[in-house]
A = this chain, B = another copy of it.
Amino acid sequence: MRKICAVVSSRANYSSIKSVLRSVSQNKNLILQIVVGASALIDRFGSAVDLIKKDGFKINNRVHMLIEGETVETMAKSTGMGLLEFPTVFRHLKPDIVLIVGDRFENMAASIAASYMNIPIAHTMGGEVSGTIDESIRHAITKFSHIHFPASKSAKERIIKLGERKENVFLVGCPRIDLAKKVLSDKKSILNEKFLNAGVGDKINFSKPFIIVSQHSVTTEYNDTRHQIESTMKAVNKINIQKIILWPNPDAGSDEISRVFRKFREKNLISNVRFYKNFPPEVYMKLMSKTSCLVGNSSSGIREGAYIGTPVVNIGTRQSNRDRGKNTLDCSYNENDIFKSVNKQIKKNKYKKEYLYGDGSSGKKIAKILEKVKVKIQKQISY
């Protein structure tokens, strides 16, 4: 029986791995271990840990590692805290494989800890391209990982080009698509009052049009954060439509974004708006299937957005060059540009479904591979 230890360190991580957790937990040859860390534990970031428990998963350990401040310096130190904590956790849990999601800075810590401790790493969502520091982190995690689960064909090819051996690279699609598929096929409304009233601000009428704003800081443009988010806020405020705004992730600069949100809210600089810390993954995807437009720089618009057909306005560099479908309209940080782009997308109805990031069966595929894959702990570049 192999022990698979999944590290979940943000609300986005949970959406990206939930279907895998489900499949691993149902596999008779695998034992699932879950370590929840970083912002996934923190109330003001939406306590993803509560959703995980509500979904019936057992939490094996918790890693408090975020150092308050949300500067580039605390981002590095938080990674350091993670590196002090994860080794203890792995010593206790003795996993056979550690499962790492994507490209966030918190996951760098778990990756280094596992690989230094000679525990094989399986990595999802590697091989993609983007902006911000995540671009470097993603490829560095690939260089520490032993098994790769890319979400798209081009990502698979990129991982192999990066010198990883073909036999360790498995094109499985993106596990977020698994959830999207399930949500789209589910007739039962999951948009219940409880989740939708959780935020603060105006009451949203979900039978009327609304847009979603989800914009994170770009750490490599740290000093422009305030200006970037203000442009977006001003642009969407000019549009007469209901707005759902999501609080940002805990990157360097996110404090700046929160400050701008609070300023706009407290000084009534924006109207017809409600702010949310978090949604359960399925609720979020349901909203993506109903929204007139998703605005910002979240990768969700590009991933499951393409599958769902959500009209997306993608602002700035955070997702630069990530594989995208027709549903995504790129635009600059310029207020006017954003305003025009969102209006254009709102007028569009939904886009046609695209299968760039898989067909919704990725969790099962990953579990099956984890069951049997052979791993050699000493890596070596293929060229």
User: Which residues of A are in contact with B by a Cβ distance under 8 Å?
Assistant: 39, 41-44, 64-69, 71-77, 79-88, 91-92, 105, 108-109, 112-113, 115-118, 129, 131-133, 135-136, 139-140, 142-144, 158, 161-163, 200, 219-222, 252, 255, 258-259, 262, 265-266, 317, 320-321, 377-381, 383
Contact = CB atoms under 8 A, between A and B. Distances in A.
Q: How many copies does the complex hold?
A: 4
A25 B69 CA distance: 28
A65 B77 CA distance: 10
A14 to B, nearest CB: 17
5 contacts: A64-B71, A72-B117, A81-B81, A135-B381, A161-B383
A163 B139 contact: yes
B73 A64 contact: yes
A138 B328 CA distance: 36
Contact of A76 (B74, B113, B158, B379): B113
Given A77-B84, A77-B87, A381-B139, A219 B116 contact: yes
Given A131-B378, A135-B379, A82 B80 contact: yes
A161 B162 CA distance: 7
Contact of A77 (B83, B129, B143): B83
Contacts of A91: 73
Contact of A65 (B65, B67, B118): B67
Contacts of A88: 73, 85, 88
Contacts of A43: 255, 258-259
B79 A83 contact: yes
A320 B129 CA distance: 31
Contacts of A320: 380
A226 to B, nearest CB: 13
Nearest to A317: B378
Contacts of A85: 84, 88
A116 B79 contact: yes
Contacts of A144: 136, 140
A92 to B, nearest CB: 7
